[in-house]
Amino acid sequence: MEHLSWSFQDRIATIKINRPPANALSSGLLKEISAVLDEVEHHADIRVILIHGEGRFFSAGADIKEFTTIESGTEFSKLASYGQELFERMENFSKPIIAAIHGAALGGGLELAMACHIRLVTEKAKLGLPELQLGLVPGFAGTQRLPRFVGFARAAEMLFTSDPITGAEAVQYGLANRAYSDEELLEQAYSMAKKIAKKSPVSVKATIELLNYSKTAEFHQGVKKEAELFGEVFVSEDGKEGITAFIEKREPSFKGN
């Protein structure tokens, strides 16, 4: 593993994202997450998974520079589909996954966090989907999961303005479960994981399955449409301009095509 490490104790697997400086989600990192899930899925001694970021951030978003190596809309749509399938696997995973979020969970980082069953945050953490700031759209099911947590109106505001919310606001809006100080976050996350780890694995797995029955057919249709439009927007002139402006650290100039 190049960007992930994991260990287990007290029936808890702790996964650490370590891809400085921002723990950006590259395609390689997504594959490493999938590989770790393969390892822990049938590990009888592991009952709960805790995921957090090393350094300043949980994850500040997708790897924009990697996007410059992709040329076709079809390839962008395939990348989106891969991320969606991975996060769908996490949401349906047989063992509860807790995200401990500090610093920032933005773009793909928030989409990763939303695929976890529980989100614990620091009070001043920043959570948001700023893709429209770059002339892009979320691609890892962010447009479909965010409204389920915060409601349509709040999701529309967050997406259209690209403004992040704080960890404290995330709890208020239903996006996160609890907010703690920076010093308390991991301790409290581990304490919750230990409490869950005492439960019957059979009943926990069944509860995860039942919770996911709340998803509608429209959710899955929306995810598929998101991947399609993700590819179309990325190869638009505005999409190219947004990525270029981000890399050049300047304001984008969007023309509407």
Residue 240: left (phi > 0), alpha (psi -120 to 50), or beta? alpha
Q: What domains can be seen in the chain, in order of their start residue? A: 4-183 (3.90.226.10)
Counting Cβ atoms within 10 Å, is residue 18 exposed (0-12), middle (13-18) or buried (19+)?
middle
pLDDT in tens, 136-176: 999 999 999 999 999 999 999 999 999 999 999 999 999 99
Q: Is the pTM of this model over 0.75?
A: yes
- pLDDT by residue for the chain (257 residues), tens only, comes to 899 999 999 999 999 999 999 999 999 999 999 999 999 999 999 999 999 999 999 999 988 888 888 888 898 899 999 999 999 999 999 999 999 999 999 999 999 999 999 999 999 999 999 999 999 999 999 999 999 999 999 999 999 999 999 999 999 999 999 999 999 999 999 999 999 999 999 999 999 999 988 888 888 899 999 999 999 998 999 999 998 999 998 999 999 98
- Give the active site residues: 111, 131
Burial 50-64 (b: 16+ CB within 10 A, else e): bbbbeeebbbbbbbb
